Amino acid sequence: MAIIHEEIDNWLAADVYGELSDEEQRQLHTHLVECVACRKTHQETKTMNKILEETLTQQKPDPSFEQRMLAGFRNRVPERTGLLKFLADLMRMRAAQVTAVAAVLLGLVQLGRMVTGENAASPAAPDRYANEQLFEQRSQVAATSEPARAGALGKADELAAARPQAMPLQAPPPPSSDEAKDKTESFAQAERTVVTGSNIATAEEVGPKPAETPPSALANRKLIRNATVELEIVSFDDALQKITAIANDERGYVATTSSQKQANGKLSGEVVVKVLPENLDRFLQKIRKLGELKNQTLGTEDVTKTYFDTDARLKNAHVMEQRLIDMLKTKTGKVADLLQVEKELARVREEIEKMQGELKYWDSQVQFATVTISLAEKDMEEPAAFLIKERSQLALYAPNVEKIYNDIKALASSRSRGMQITSAQLNRDYSGRISATMSVLIAPEESEEVIARVKSFGRVENFQTQTERIAQGGSGMSENAKTKRDKVELNITISREEQEQAFQQTSLRIRTSSVDEKAKDLRAVAEKQGGRVRSSTFSRDPNGRELANVWLRVPMKNYPALMQSLDSLGKVENVTVQRQDRTGTQIDEANAPADISIQVYSQGNIVSHESGPLATLRRTLAQSAGAVMWSLRMIGVAIAFLAPWVVAIVAIVWIAKRVIRARRKL
């Protein structure tokens, strides 16, 4: 009940608006019966509702309101008509939306391609254009100049070229006995022959084609057949004899032979054989058996058209000649004219002779097929001799580079024939380092001795020999070729010992009380073992500690002895040994240098002003003073950061208080 009383407004409103459930309504009425105040409010609320109902209902929109709204809407948003409406309707369909998106994407891709310059725009178009042009050119060429087409035509163009070709081919009257043959067939023939003719360059694949043509047609064609064969044989003379025999069998003859001898005694050559065309294939098969076939081409050239053209021209020329002769016989006209006729007659006769010669040539070519046989004996490439070339690299270390340099020179001059210096160079760089490079040629029989001598001059750091067998006049293996040794080439580099990297590096420490003295002893020990002191330092630090560093170099053979004698100097500590094994080179290990770096040191015995209780106290005080100063500074920083905020907050609070007070007064 209490809830109802407190929320009486909500309850009453809900009651007025019919939003109370039956149970709620019952509760409310029970409360209203009990509570006077709420009853009054209930009354007022009902009145209020009535007033509102009366007043607000007046303000309700009139019945034509929707119509007005609709009209206004139509007015302000004009409906799309025609195509636009259709498009808008279309775009409402899912499929159309997808299509539109795809189209836009495609458009973007195309645009991108255009921007990047990729030529994607219909590749077919320029191609077709090119084809057209080609076709035009070809047909023009074919129409004007016959021989131009002879080899160079592309396969695709051949057919194209063949068509216009066929027309002129038909024009000259072929003196064929089978003239009665169907026209279409002759057309087809003509076409085929042209294709064959233009293919002469790659004759092999077209080879069988003439055989397909009917024999009656073949008989009237002027075909020049030729073949080339490349054979590898055992003996040239033998093969030549056999070829001659085969040629005779096939009613042919050997036209020319040529041969030449190689450096390794092998023979190679060329034989040209003429055989009857119909026997050509059989001949070739026999030839093949003579040796290993390396290469074979078979070609056919159709000269029918040119042959009969020339023949026709020859006949015309004969007629012309006869007429000119007749003219001379009648002898009318001026002398000058007669002279002219005479001249013309001479020209015509010359032409006739030329044409007759041509025809004869063709006849001979057609009568016999030409076979060019290239013969080569086996193992043509076999080398005639071998040359053994030896190259050696020698790296030497020596205490005195210049001396060795001169020694080698002297050695060379003493063996003037067996040893020859090709180049020698002595270098001294800015830091005084000296090195030498020499190249020497040594007679093969003396090489061992000379190299041994040179090696003994210094310490060998590296020695390498390369031997090369060079085949002369051919390649590969040969059993009976001679082997010859060439001069040995020796490259020598001489460097100073100092530059040599130590074979073994040792570092150790010796503790002793008298550093300076022991360092001196150390020098003596080193010298006794054939070593040298490369460098040394001596220092004394403020604590009275003394320190001497000595770097020694001794030959490897004296290294153990030196290490032993070091023990007598003091306590040896921290020994580390590093060894560099150089594989693959011949080095003289006993004489190889070993580096030893020795640190001789003493414990400090003087108390410095930096230690002791007083110094410690002073340091502690100074440190604590520093810490205090640091914290003071940090506090200062913090205050500097916070102060403006504090001031601002105080100011705001103060103003706020003033404002509140002023309001209260009002």
Partner 1 sequence: MDASEREQYRAAIQGDREAFEVIIRTHSRTLFAIAYGILQNREEAEDVVQDSLVKAWKMRWRVRDPEKFPAWLSMIARHRAHDVFRKRRPDFTHETIETTEVNTPETSAMDQHLQSALATLPELHRAALTLRYFEEMDYRTIENTLGLTNGALRGILGRALNSLRKQLRPVFASTD
Binding site for partner 1 (CB under 8 A): 7, 9-14, 16-19, 41, 44-45, 47-49, 51-53, 55-57, 59-61, 65-66, 68-70, 72-73, 76-77, 79, 88, 91-92
C-beta of 36 vs 524, nearer to partner 1: 36
Q: Output the smallest distance, CB 30 to partner 1, in A.
A: 19
Give the rounded distance of the alpha carbon of 478 from its chain centre: 40
Measured CA to CA, the distance from residue 508 to residue 501 in angstroms comes to 19
Measured CA to CA, the distance from residue 335 to residue 618 in angstroms comes to 149
- Whether 474 contacts 384, CB under 8 Å: yes
Q: Output the smallest distance, CB 56 to partner 1, in A.
A: 4
Strand order in the sheet with 253-261: 253-261, 267-275, 369-377, 223-233, 292-302
Q: Output the smallest distance, CB 4 to partner 1, in A.
A: 12
Q: Kind of pairing, strands 532-540 and 593-601? A: unpaired
C-beta of 12 vs 195, nearer to partner 1: 12
User: Residue for token digits 């001679």?
Assistant: 482
Beta-bridged to residue 394, according to DSSP, are: 463, 492
C-beta of 23 vs 79, nearer to partner 1: 79
C-beta of 11 vs 405, nearer to partner 1: 11
Q: Which run of H or of E encompasses 396?
A: strand 385-398
3-state secondary structure of 467: strand
- Whether 231 contacts 290, CB under 8 Å: yes
C-beta of 78 vs 476, nearer to partner 1: 78
Q: Output the smallest distance, CB 34 to partner 1, in A.
A: 20
Q: Output the smallest distance, CB 110 to partner 1, in A.
A: 28
Measured CA to CA, the distance from residue 636 to residue 624 in angstroms comes to 19
Q: Output the smallest distance, CB 5 to partner 1, in A.
A: 13
C-beta of 67 vs 140, nearer to partner 1: 67
- Whether 317 contacts 256, CB under 8 Å: no
C-beta of 20 vs 460, nearer to partner 1: 20
Which structure tokens are listed for 178? 């089978």
Measured CA to CA, the distance from residue 500 to residue 555 in angstroms comes to 12
Which residues are CB-contacts of 553 (< 8 A; sequence separation ≥ 6)? 502, 531, 532, 534, 593, 594, 595, 596
3-state secondary structure of 363: helix
Q: Output the smallest distance, CB 108 to partner 1, in A.
A: 22
C-beta of 79 vs 429, nearer to partner 1: 79
Q: Give the burial class of 516: count Cβ atoms within 10 A of its Cβ; 0-12 exposed, 13-18 middle, 19 or more buried.
A: middle
Beta-bridged to residue 389, according to DSSP, are: 468
As a residue count, the chain comes to 666
C-beta of 49 vs 176, nearer to partner 1: 49
Q: Output the smallest distance, CB 35 to partner 1, in A.
A: 16
Q: Output the smallest distance, CB 66 to partner 1, in A.
A: 5
C-beta of 59 vs 423, nearer to partner 1: 59
Instruction: Tell me the backbone φ, ψ of residue 512, rounded to 5 degrees.
Output: -155, 165
Q: Output the smallest distance, CB 125 to partner 1, in A.
A: 41
C-beta of 71 vs 577, nearer to partner 1: 71
Q: Give the burial class of 290: count Cβ atoms within 10 A of its Cβ; 0-12 exposed, 13-18 middle, 19 or more buried.
A: buried
553: closest CA among 527, 571, 573? 527
Q: Output the smallest distance, CB 115 to partner 1, in A.
A: 31
